[in-house]
Homo-oligomer: A and B are copies of this chain.
Amino acid sequence: MADAIAARLQALEDRAAIADLIARYGPLADAGDAAGVAALWTDDGIYAVDGFPEARGHAAIAALIEGPVHQDLMARGCAHLLGPATITLDGNRATALCHSVVLAKASEGWEPVRVAANRWELMRTPDGWRVTRRDNALLDGSEAARALFAG
């Protein structure tokens, strides 16, 4: 009985931790906190963003935030919005799917400049859940994004 309750609690905590991890990405990215963004991943975690070379490891992921594309977006004003994720737990591993929308300031209002499908692979580490791989594919009618969401 106690074991069953502990397992149910653990599963809920895992879901909450993963949802919170994903929800931290946008605020960290929009604050320009490159080290904070990178720390969401494992040391050798991969961030494969549509249109960019695949980034592996903290330095490469931080470089995406410090790079000209992201810095230009920040100077203009931007929001990296991530939708609520559907999470599938599998012991010390998990996957999650969600949308991402990058809104950038325009002369009037804001405009969605990137809208993408995201698939996250995560693992439990001694320091909590971390991302081992995030794939991102633009929802521009191409097959790649559909394939990501089809899991």
Q: Per-position contact with B for A76-92: 1 when CB-CB < 8 Å, else 0?
A: 11110111111100000
Find the residue from A20, A87, A112 having the highest chain B CB count within 10 A: A112
Q: Are B141 and A20 in contact, with the CB atoms below 8 A?
A: no
Contact among B8, B9, B23, B83 for A26, CB-based, below 8 A: B83
**Residues of A in contact with B, size category:** 35 or more
The CA of A109 and the CA of B123, in the complex, are separated in Å by: 33
Interfacial residues of chain A within 11-64, with CB under 8 A of chain B in the complex: 12-13, 15-16, 19-20, 22-24, 26-28, 30-33
A–B pairs, 23, beta carbons within 8 Å: A5-B9, A8-B13, A12-B13, A27-B86, A27-B98, A27-B149, A30-B117, A30-B149, A32-B146, A74-B141, A74-B146, A76-B141, A77-B139, A77-B141, A79-B101, A79-B116, A81-B99, A82-B84, A83-B84, A101-B103, A103-B112, A109-B112, A110-B114
